[in-house]
Amino acid sequence: MSETVRLYFDVDGEDFTSAGQASVQVKKSLRQLGIPPEIIRKVSIAMYEGEINMVIHAGGGKAEVLICEDCIEIRLRDQGPGIANIEQAMQEGFSTAPDAIRSLGFGAGMGLPNMKRYTDEMKIESEPGKGTDITMRVYL
């Protein structure tokens, strides 16, 4: 797999209203690179949900997007509280988000399932108290 473009972002965990800025930037970059719209949409939605999760649960984190010859890889790293039970967290409707987040239109337990839905591969590594690493791939 030969890498062509690599993008890095710091996701600010302080402000929910600004969450999603990295995803908007990725969307713009993918458009400029001439990536097909359907692939752009999948990558943007998966990354947006990931960004929102990092802001809601982990106080922010780091995002990295690799645009390779055959796929786009999204790596999300945070040092938040971690996910105690990944299988449970992957169920649609399971959420530990506070009510305040629900009133903003998120936190319905759809974030991780949506990330899986829109990507071809998704790997979650998490240790309670240490943080969560998520790697997703969308094939071109």
Report the nearest approach of other proteins to the CB of residue 52 (Å).
Answer: 8
What is the total residue count of the chain? 140
Report the nearest approach of other proteins to the CB of residue 45 (Å).
Answer: 5
Q: Assess 73 for contact with other proteins (CB under 8 A).
A: no
- Rounded to whole angstroms, the Cα distance separating 92 from 96 reads 12
Neighbours of 84 (CB within 10 A): 12
Please say whether the beta carbons of 138 and 120 come within 8 A.
Answer: yes
Report the nearest approach of other proteins to the CB of residue 69 (Å).
Answer: 25
Look at phi and psi of residue 105 and say left if phi exceeds 0, alpha if psi is from -120 to 50, else beta. left
Segment interacting with other proteins (CB under 8 A) among 10-18, 56-64, 78-86, 127-135: 10-18
User: With respect to other proteins, which residue has the nearer C-beta, 48 or 78?
Assistant: 48
User: Which residues between 105 and 124 bind other proteins (CB under 8 A)?
Assistant: 105-111, 113-114, 117
Q: Assess 62 for contact with other proteins (CB under 8 A).
A: no
DSSP 17: G
Structure tokens, 34: 């001439």
**Residues contributing to the site for other proteins (CB under 8 A):** 16-20, 23-24, 27, 37, 41, 44-45, 48-49, 52, 104-111, 113-114, 117
